[in-house]
Structure 1
Amino acid sequence: MRARGRLVAAALLAALPAAASAATVEVEVDGAEAGAGPVFVALCQGGLNGSACGEGDSVQARGGEARVSFRDVAPGVYAVAAFQDTNGNRQLDRTPLGLPLEPYGFSGDVGRRARPDFRSAAFSLSEPGALVRVRLARALPRR
């Protein structure tokens, strides 16, 4: 009977869906302005707009650098968007034409000369994870 019980348990375990794989995304941000506010970093999937960049975190930069870790991220295609909140309002401020007024950056170092697109900023994530570097810069000179 014990052998039969083990077979039944093994069959039940085999029928369960496999546990989803998970990875870690380490994001290193440089180019932050000293004493200018926290750096917000978001992990984006499918686009670079607010609704596609749901998972995020903010940290204080030290020596112009910041580091954020996203754990238990399902493998897939992602991009990273980051900005430094120099005035503390928790959003990327823009001109009436839409140009960022605060330091910002994306994975793949896109968005400097034209509107960024997800495909150019995207990277493929698999286990165990990825290290992504983002450089912050201003679109316009500081006022």
Structure 2
Amino acid sequence: MRLPRKEGLNIVPLVDIMLVLLAIVLSTASFIAHGQIKVNLPESSTAKVEQNDKKVIVTIDSLNNFFIDGNKIDKNDLKDKILQIDDRTQVQLVSDRDAKFSSFMEILDILKSKNHENFTIQTEMIK
């Protein structure tokens, strides 16, 4: 007497579909922006690269929007946020070359009013 053969679930088509979906997800994921702020930096022939573990990045984009560490901040809250920064923390100023100079000076005035002299201005190095 023969035992009945157990019919199983054929998972080969399921694996094929999952691999195709994985390939689609991985290929489209490379085209998604990583949320970085687009800034066209001014050029400088004397630019230096400085490394500091403790820093805050203040960015001005081409539309004169302010960002602190990548988070958009209202112009009215800008002074309060900058005044909360510790004096030992390095402030890295990143300004788009098309941004208004007055926006850049606003940040410098706030830093100067609190006697914060630990800041750098990020530029693009001329090769």
- After TM superposition, the score normalised by the length of structure 2 is 0.31
Which is greater in Rg? 2
Q: Between Structure 1 and Structure 2, which shows a larger proportion of helix residues? A: 2
Q: Between Structure 1 and Structure 2, which shows a larger proportion of strand residues? A: 1
